[in-house]
Structures are given as C-alpha cells and as structure tokens.
Amino acid sequence: MKKFLEEKMLGNPSGINKFLNLKYLSSKGEEHYFSVTFDESSINPRGFVQGGMITAALDQASSMAFIGDNNGTAAPLTTDLHVLFHRSLPLGDAKITVKFIKIGRQIATMEARIFDEEDKLVSSMMHTAVNFAIPKQED
C-alpha cells in the first residue's frame, strides 16, 4: 500500500490531497495512518479548523486507504458519512487513523479519526461506500 500511495496517489499531490497536504505514514494490520496540515485557508470564525475541512480530510484519508489497499483497482463511492466532533482543532498538523470495519464485495465501512498535536481525539467518522472497480487505463 505504501508504495502505491506514495507513487501513484500522494507522491505528486494535486487537488484535495495537495490542499490538505495529506501524507500516508504507515499501516498496521487493518489500521492506516496519515498526517494532514491545515493552514489559514481552513480557518473558521473562531480561529480553529472549520468542520467541513475536518470532514474532507477524514473522507479523503479513508478513501486513500481503501484505494491503496486495492492497489488502485477499486475506489469507494460514498453513500454516507457520519461525523462526530469532540473538540476544536487548531491550525497546523494533525494525525488521522483509518480502520477498516468491513470490506465486502459491494459495500465498505471504514472508521476514521483525527487527532490534534497532543494526540487528543478531535473528530471521528464512519464512512460507508459502494466498492467501485476502476477501469484499467491504457498506457
């Protein structure tokens, strides 16, 4: 997974991966670890990271874990996200943990959690998606 994510998905980031500065760190069993950096463009009126930005980071990390686990042959088409916010997140670096709850033939369920720099839980999300086979591209 690491090689695929670093070379194909996050090695030369674009779009949301670039905006979030999302990086794959490691995996252990069914858990996958990422880092993310929120800058001034993510700020809410209270001076913390806006909740939608946190949700986007959790959605993207869980999607990247799924795609990486499938070496780019399948992607999740999200059916629903359930997000809980436990505390505010200051701007800067944060860590994300993604755990596969169940990966079936048609439906995938993943849990993603984001932690602040003091390793305090900020937000948790359940991500359910339809497994979508990515068509092979010709070189």
Is residue 139 situated within a structural domain?
A: no
Consecutive sets of 10 residues in the chain, 139 residues long: mean pLDDT of each? 64 74 88 94 95 96 90 87 97 97 91 97 96 73
Is residue 103 situated within a structural domain?
A: yes
14 three-state secondary structure: coil
Is residue 96 situated within a structural domain?
A: yes
Is residue 138 situated within a structural domain?
A: no
Q: What's the pLDDT score for residue 61?
A: 94
Is residue 109 situated within a structural domain?
A: yes
Domain range spanning residue 49?
2-133
In whole angstroms, give the CA distance from residue 137 to residue 134: 9
Read out DSSP for 60-85?
HHHHHHHHHHTTTSEEEEEEEEEEEE
Number of Cβ within a 10 Å radius of residue 117: 11
CATH number at residue 12: 3.10.129.10
Give the tens place of pLDDT for each residue, 93-127.
999 999 999 988 899 999 999 999 999 999 999 99
What's the number of domains the chain is made of? 1
In whole angstroms, give the CA distance from residue 118 to residue 95: 10
